[in-house]
Structure 1
Amino acid sequence: MTKLKFTLLAMGMSMGLYMSAQEVEPTTPEETEFYEPVPPKVVPGTNGAAPSDAIVLFDGSNLDNWISTKDSTAAKWTLNKDGSMTVNNRTGDIQTKQNFGSMQLHIEWKSPAEVNGDGQHRANSGVFLSGMYEIQVLDNNNNDTYVNGQVGSIYKQHVPLAMASVPTGEWNTYDVIYHAPVFEKGQKVKSGTITLIQNGVLIQDNVEIKGTTPYVGWPKNPVHGKGPLKLQDHGDNSRVSYRNIWVRELK
């Protein structure tokens, strides 16, 4: 260590700043430049299509990546000619065969054009991260409900910043950044977070996941690792449809 750096370090410590020698102001541009690691090349998709490094979970051709949550049999939802799938009433939730941790998720959904029911009984479904943290899907157009259960809410936890749905019967997009909670020795040591963009509008801004999202009761924090992506059959003839589902795993 040079005499100058030692003097600056001592001065910083004496002021309670604990300034290290590496924090001395650079005098050349090269001192603040680095060339590794080189980011991998990713070819972006267009119009919501999956980028080159994504895992495509549903492209409209089949339900091979999905199983029944109830009994792990083949998913029984309806496969449509337009490349979407629709909740098959009272056949139960479906989930991916593959488990995921932190991820970027793209998913598109729509309510039926024909309005049926009101409140929580109009086109109600949900997207569950790690199989247990619900992002609400609901037709809230001219249809009020409790705001921590409306479309785009983290169910019973976080009210969305805006109601950004398109007209009933048209396709909505959800783009999600999910960081899974961290557990050590049977305890949660870091909460998970969710960022949600609906139709290009930020509606959940890196919010903390308090735990599970039950209909009744407080959030719970069971220890878990990676889990499936789950889609909800709310059981009231919701007829919600989904299409173009892909994820990018985050390290």
Structure 2
Amino acid sequence: MKKSILKAVALFPALILGLGMITYVQAQVGVGTKPPKGAEVLFDGSRKMLDEKWTYWEGPRLAATLPIKWTVVKDPTGKGMALNSNDPAGAGGKYGAADIVTKDKFRDFRLHVEFFIPEAGGNSGVYLQNRYEIQVLDGDTTSHGMAAVINETPSPYHAYNGLGKWNAYDIVFRAARFENGKRTEKAMLTMYFNGKKVHTNQTINQVWGGPNSGIDGGNDGGKGITDTPGGIKLQAEGHNVLYRNIWIRELDLKEADTNF
């Protein structure tokens, strides 16, 4: 297929239908993808936006104090700035001690996050609704490894660009549904990793990692999912994992279909 045709296919919007409502989700994916119309930028490389839109997650292990101690640093690959997740309070892998989360909370959404791991074994994580972790972990190809829906899917390690390169997660997420306080439909996502589709309509059973991991982690061993929105969370585990170009677009997905 010619390059021009491939580019057109990548840019063509996917269509999600639900009970008479039509929502367009940009299907453009990969490193450098810009936010589409209607999206909210969550991190643009500035300290100002970090302080305006993020805070520490107040979980049971919180040991950090505001202002956020994550640092804004020069992008190691060129122009612009990035965010370093190596908060002193998270040293030694103490997840939950200095994780940061958006002040805004979300249900259904399209998310784009870019990350850069400079050193072997670099460890962090991207949390959807401050519940469900998409792993960021160099060197691990298991269900606890890179780009896995943690403990729910195998790691699609083949799509990883590797150390010293930017990587991108592009996700459409649909929150769990409830009736009379009981979960009737599990959370679901479709995800591209560096432009390759690696998870399609993947359901998520629970929160893993216990109460220090995220919302509902301490409820019935992580199985007690509640009907509350949550923010986008980034994990501090004492490693120099960098982030940039983070944006989100809220959706309202009536049907259990996240494919894009």
TM-score for the superposition, normalised by structure 2: 0.70
Bigger mean CA offset, 44-53 vs 166-175: 44-53
In structure 2, how many angstroms separate the alpha carbons of the residues matched to 1:227 and 1:38? 24
Other-structure match for 2:165: 170
Q: 1:38 to 1:233 in 2, by over 3 A?
A: closer
Q: 1:48 aligns with which of 17, 22, 33?
A: 33
Q: 2:223 aligns with which of 209, 220, 225?
A: 220
Shift of 1:215: 6.2
Q: 1:86 aligns with which of 72, 84, 87?
A: 84
Other-structure match for 2:137: 138
Aligned with 1:153: secondary structure?
A: coil
Q: 1:78 to 1:219 in 2, by over 3 A?
A: same
In structure 1, how many angstroms separate the alpha carbons of the residues matched to 2:251 and 2:54? 21
Q: 1:184 to 1:56 in 2, by over 3 A?
A: same
In structure 2, how many angstroms separate the alpha carbons of the residues matched to 1:55 and 1:124? 26
- Matched AA of 2:84: T
Other-structure match for 1:242: 243
- Matched AA of 2:231: P
- Matched AA of 1:164: A
Does residue 61 of the first structure (1) align with residue 62 of the second (2)? no
Contact 1:151 1:163 in 2 (8 A): no
Does residue 111 of the first structure (1) align with residue 107 of the second (2)? no
In structure 2, how many angstroms separate the alpha carbons of the residues matched to 1:249 and 1:136? 22
Shift of 1:221: 2.8
Contact 1:93 1:231 in 2 (8 A): yes
In structure 2, how many angstroms separate the alpha carbons of the residues matched to 1:198 and 1:186? 34
In structure 1, how many angstroms separate the alpha carbons of the residues matched to 2:250 and 2:202? 19
- Matched AA of 2:68: A
In structure 1, how many angstroms separate the alpha carbons of the residues matched to 2:54 and 2:155? 28
How large is the RMSD of aligned CA atoms in angstroms? Answer: 2.7
Does residue 155 of the first structure (1) align with residue 150 of the second (2)? yes
- Matched AA of 2:106: F
Contact 2:160 2:167 in 1 (8 A): yes
Contact 2:55 2:68 in 1 (8 A): yes
Shift of 1:180: 0.5
In structure 2, how many angstroms separate the alpha carbons of the residues matched to 1:95 and 1:170? 24
Contact 1:177 1:196 in 2 (8 A): yes
Deviation digits for residues 190-231 of structure 1 (CA, Å, limit 9, x no counterpart): 111011110011111111110112269954132132111100
In structure 2, how many angstroms separate the alpha carbons of the residues matched to 1:159 and 1:38? 32
- Matched AA of 1:69: W
Aligned with 2:184: secondary structure?
A: strand
Number of corresponding residues: 202
- Which aligned pairs between 1:92-107 and structure 2 lie closer than 5 A? 92-107=98-113
Q: 1:111 to 1:37 in 2, by over 3 A?
A: closer
Aligned with 1:228: secondary structure?
A: coil
Shift of 1:162: 5.0
Shift of 1:90: 3.6
In structure 1, how many angstroms separate the alpha carbons of the residues matched to 2:21 and 2:225? 36
In structure 2, how many angstroms separate the alpha carbons of the residues matched to 1:41 and 1:180? 16
Any stretches of 5+ residues in structure 1 without a counterpart?
Answer: 1-35, 116-121
Deviation digits for residues 74-93 of structure 1 (CA, Å, limit 9, x no counterpart): 32211113311001334310
Q: 1:73 to 1:167 in 2, by over 3 A?
A: same
Other-structure match for 2:127: 128
The structure with more strand, counted as a fraction of residues: 2
Contact 1:60 1:79 in 2 (8 A): yes
- Matched AA of 1:186: G
